[in-house]
Amino acid sequence: MAMALTGARIFTGDAFLDGHAVVIEGARIKAVVPEAETGGMTRRDLGGGLLAPGFIDVQVNGGGGALLNANPSVDTVRTIATSHRRFGTVGMLPTVITDAPQVIAKAVASVARAMAEGVPGVLGIHIEGPFLDGARKGAHAARFIRGMEEADADAIAGFAMYCPVMLTLAPNRVAPALVRRLTQAGVLVSLGHSEASFVEARQALDAGARSITHLYNAMSQMTGREPGLVGAALTDAESYVGIIADGHHVHDAALKVAFATKPASRMMLITDAMPTAAGGPDSFELQGRTVTRSNGRLSLPDGTLAGSDLSMDAAVRYCVTTLGMELGSVLRMAALNPASFLRCDHELGRIAPGHLASLVLLGDDLRVKATWINGQ
């Protein structure tokens, strides 16, 4: 039976609509119509606010006290997805960082099983490492970082047969031929944690790399004579970039440079969230090291940033209220753009007939009042 959601302003992903309703039938959107045309339908009055496409986060290490690396199980995946759903995330890539091969394999298997069991909001997995550059390891454990062999590429290509896979690698540590092999197998290759030169980054992009992981963080910076990975990211019109907008990871001025330079359709808000996020505790253990939350910043004992305490709605608010960005553009960075990156924008990222009814209702303060995933 169809239900009409009424009483809220609507952002379709392309435009704002007043006086309209979203008609849901089953898991999908049946129509977007003037409210006057819903008289014979079951209606739910949302009581104001803004109804928008639900947020999609391609980098979520943990939340609600759970960490995928620490317990790579279906229960952990479910906890992370459920915790972040309360903050508007209706689609995510649970993320496993650099670790032992068996931990990564178990994480992939658990995500694939969670998807098969219908855990709401799980779209695939992000494997961040272990094929990184030790010079830009960040919070990744050096003992697990290693080079990529052909057998590794074969294994990860095999993972992509079971669920969508995003892989972050260092372009100065992985040959372009292996990058090309991965992308041809359907792996979404992202560049990060690297001291790569501009040329090395450009070679990986030319080989099919599709995105840049947490722009500015843990990568070679742009200078006048060596643009580095940052320069390659900002001057490439096709690749997507994930960016952490929390006031800790990137200076506001650098955020504004990225938003002004990169095509708006290629910017993605991400959280890089850890267990403290979405209602978690103030500290947790990461591969034998304690990570502590202080004033919204997560750090190891030596001060190294270790992921974030961010939720997607908080990232949206930061861009709108602190950076002064236009709301529609920010909402696209939180939903439509990541959906396009994941090649699922035919189903997610817009409020349009035929799309999945995966939605978020925001109050006037841009805080989440309700979410729907596949009409539920």
Query: Quick one: which of 342, 319, 282 has its CA closest to 91?
Result: 342
Q: Is 272 a catalytic residue?
A: yes
Cβ-contact 204, 189 below 8 angstroms: yes
Across-strand partners of 290?
285
Question: Position of tokens 């920010």?
Answer: 330
Distance of alpha carbon 229 from alpha carbon 370, whole angstroms:
38
Given the residues 272, 309, 313, 345, select the one marked as catalytic: 272
Distance of alpha carbon 121 from alpha carbon 56, whole angstroms:
9
Distance of alpha carbon 15 from alpha carbon 157, whole angstroms:
38
First to last CA, the chain: 13
Query: In this structure, what token pair is assigned to residue 206?
Result: 């030319």
Cβ-contact 298, 307 below 8 angstroms: yes
Longest distance between any two alpha carbons in the chain, whole Å: 66
Cβ-contact 86, 368 below 8 angstroms: yes
Catalytic residue positions, numbered? 272
